[in-house]
Chain A
Amino acid sequence: MPCGADMGGTVSGDTVTAVAEAEPARRRIESRLTAGDRVYRTLATAGAGATLVLIVLIGLFLLIKAMPALREAGWSFITTKEWSPDAEKPRFGVAAMMFGTLISATVAMAVTFPVSVSTAVFINEYAPRRLRRPLTSLIDLMAAIPSLIFAMWGLFVLVPFLLPLEQWAVDRFGWLPFMKAAAIGASLSNAGLVVSLMTIPIATSIIREVLSQVPRHECEGALALGATRWGMIRTVVLPFGRGGIIGGTMLGLGRALGETLAATLVLSLTFEIKPRVLENGGITVASALAVQFKDAQKMGLSALMAAGLALFVVTFAINLLAAFVVSRSRSGAGVDA
């Protein structure tokens, strides 16, 4: 470490007799790496560097390809909901798809978060001991199932199953503006629910893993005070796992934002902003890209690249925010007892 003038505070408080020369020169601490360490350090640095470079390259690629469309549309790219980039007078923008993406991801997360946290807690703390490993494997296995399978199951089983419930909700609460619906079943909220089928396993898997690291002696401390199991979970397990809970949910959110199949199969795709989340129609960025690609002409392709760039930026921003939140929350913080 270089002898910095800002490294004060280590000199004795004896200011009367302390003279400048009396302070010993601080040693530069050298640690020579072994050959093996050096190789690993090089590999690790290269790996991390490559990832960063790749992300930047992808961003640049999207930006360059999107440039013509962005020039053409200008700021209206953000506010326009129509999508006819290859028309005589091109009009296109991400407003509808971005709205749909955020709504379906929000619905997915609203389901994923409580379900994954409680499933993880159940497996770790409540399930009979001999069921823990099978259940854990089952969740991990589900995280590996291709999203097409979930999307089809959602389309053919979950959505029809939910229809009566949604009809009831619309009849009962239709006086609320966002609960009105003319036709139901192919809505943004259903798309979000199907997405949650894909995000729940991965979020649960991560959260369970993190919660299983909770220090057992702190749990015993709570139990020894006469806590119920739930009391212990609330004061020790959940605060300890907060970072992991946020991280796992965010990973699920990342997947939800980019999820293509669920919306493509479930939604009746329309380029409109649908605040009536139970009503048919709406679109997401990923599903728009999927269905528009093969017919796109020159400007259309560039416009799709621009939409991809927008999704890239939003996903990136959300993950940065999550990283910020996680780094600011310490395990165990924020419980009052």
Chain B
Amino acid sequence: MNNTDPASTRPLPPGPPLPPEQPGTAHTATGQPGPAAPGGGTLTATQVSAWFGSNKVLEGVDLDMDAGQVTALIGPSGCGKSTFLRILNRMHELVPTASLAGSVLLDGEDIYGRTLRVTQVRRHIGMVFQKPNPFPAMSIADNVAAGLKLTGTKAANRSELIEESLRRAGLWNEVKGRLRDAAGGLSGGQQQRLCIARSLTVRPDVLLMDEPCSALDPTSTRRIEETIDELRGQVTIVIVTHNMQQAQRVSQRCAFFLAAENEPGRIVESGPTTTIFESPKDSRTSDYVHGRFG
């Protein structure tokens, strides 16, 4: 199985040079296309539907998430954004009653197909959760490197990788003196950035973020938005957010989900973020982004 596995032959992209930890200097302009040759993978969801038991919660979702771009998923509570996000890295199937239809392609390859193992899918498509979930009693450094050990990746330059990931997540300066302390002792915002660092260490092609800032203060939120900005062009990012300003600040593309009463969630409209926010085609999108419902 190993030999026929196309994903295992996909080389690790070389690490980008360490960005200086000066917020806002590397990329200040959002809403513009990334660098000419973007890193990251392209995710394509086609006709995705999802159920919990007999309850259909998503129907016919089509969405392209372009390489190196930030795609924001917005919509009222309960419309299936988290469900959709978890389908993108096969976390959905961890719920015993869950089932789905449709397909998700990573760089043209079906992540639910026979050629890819679920562990490889998740290694290439990382996830940051709404609630920070570091391994609390493990040291900060071990947390960042956990993905290497868990995926059986040998790394000669472990400590450099740890530093690089922490820098990319904007946490290095705060924790460099206490890398051996338990991660449970960090603040909520630091824990969330630690989780981002942890998911970056395995060099994912795609990073899924489910309301990563919902439990954080404005400063931590800004740091994470800067992090997202710095990652743009290197990693494809899909982010769920309830914060319209945040969606506008960080994303280049945007998809609006909506579930009518007792109906599964669908994408009402998707496209460039500027279009969704400034000249949406659908009146429901316009109502939502202007805070008129939801």
Which A residues are closer than 8 A to B by beta carbons? 129, 215, 217-218, 220-228, 231-232, 235-236, 239, 330-337
Chain A residues near B142: list those with CB within 8 A. 335-337
Contact B146 A222 (CB under 8 A): yes
Given contact pairs A224-B129, A225-B123, A226-B147, a sample of 16 additional A-B residue pairs in the complex whose CB atoms are under 8 Å apart:
A220-B129, A221-B134, A222-B146, A224-B126, A225-B122, A225-B202, A227-B119, A228-B119, A231-B150, A235-B138, A239-B137, A332-B137, A332-B138, A335-B138, A336-B149, A337-B146
Contact B123 A226 (CB under 8 A): yes
Q: What's the least CB distance linking B201 to chain A, in Å? A: 8
Contact A332 B136 (CB under 8 A): yes
A and B contact pairs by CB, cutoff 8 A, 7 listed: A129-B96, A221-B198, A222-B146, A223-B94, A225-B146, A231-B149, A337-B143
List which B138-159 residues lie within 8 A (CB) of chain A.
138, 142-143, 145-151
Q: Given the interface contacts A239-B137, A331-B137, A335-B138, does A221 sit within 8 Å of B151 by beta carbon?
A: no
Chain B residues near A333: list those with CB within 8 A. 137, 182
Chain A residues near B119: list those with CB within 8 A. 226-228
Contact B133 A337 (CB under 8 A): no
**Which residue on chain A has the smallest CB distance to residue B123?**
A226
Q: What's the least CB distance linking A59 to chain B, in Å? A: 37
**Which residue on chain B has the smallest CB distance to residue A230?**
B150
Partner of A223, one of B91, B135, B137, B195: B91
Chain A residues near B227: list those with CB within 8 A. none
List which B98-137 residues lie within 8 A (CB) of chain A.
119-120, 122-124, 126-127, 129, 131, 133-137
The 10 closest A-B pairs by CB, nearest first: A332-B137, A226-B123, A227-B150, A225-B147, A221-B133, A224-B127, A337-B146, A337-B149, A333-B137, A231-B150
Bound CA–CA A232/B118 (angstroms): 14
Partner of B135, one of A218, A224, A226, A228: A218
When each residue 190-202 of chain B gets 1 if its CB lies under 8 Å from chain A and 0 otherwise, what string results? 0000010011001
Q: What's the least CB distance linking A230 to chain B, in Å? A: 10
Q: What's the least CB distance linking A123 to chain B, in Å? A: 15
Bound CA–CA A209/B135 (angstroms): 21
Contact B137 A330 (CB under 8 A): yes
Chain A residues near B145: list those with CB within 8 A. 337
- For residue B89, CB closer than 8 A to chain A, the reply is yes
Contact B133 A218 (CB under 8 A): yes
Chain B residues near A331: list those with CB within 8 A. 136-137
Bound CA–CA A297/B133 (angstroms): 66
Q: Given the interface contacts A224-B126, A226-B120, does A335 sit within 8 Å of B150 by beta carbon?
A: no
Q: What's the least CB distance linking A238 to chain B, in Å? A: 12
List which B173-227 residues lie within 8 A (CB) of chain A.
182, 184, 195, 198-199, 202
Chain B residues near A228: list those with CB within 8 A. 119, 150
Chain A residues near B150: list those with CB within 8 A. 222, 225-228, 231-232, 235, 337
Bound CA–CA A231/B129 (angstroms): 19
Bound CA–CA A247/B262 (angstroms): 48
Q: What's the least CB distance linking A216 to chain B, in Å? A: 9
Bound CA–CA A224/B120 (angstroms): 10
Contact B137 A224 (CB under 8 A): no
Chain B residues near A223: list those with CB within 8 A. 91, 94, 122
Chain A residues near B147: list those with CB within 8 A. 225-226
Bound CA–CA A220/B151 (angstroms): 14
**Which residue on chain B has the smallest CB distance to residue A240?**
B137
Bound CA–CA A223/B95 (angstroms): 13
Chain B residues near A335: list those with CB within 8 A. 135, 137-138, 142
Contact A235 B202 (CB under 8 A): no
Q: What's the least CB distance linking A231 to chain B, in Å? A: 4
Bound CA–CA A221/B126 (angstroms): 10
Chain A residues near B143: list those with CB within 8 A. 337
Q: Given the interface contacts A335-B138, A335-B142, does A220 sit within 8 Å of B133 by beta carbon?
A: yes
List which B3-44 residues lie within 8 A (CB) of chain A.
none
Chain A residues near B135: list those with CB within 8 A. 218, 221-222, 235-236, 239, 332, 335, 337
Bound CA–CA A31/B277 (angstroms): 54
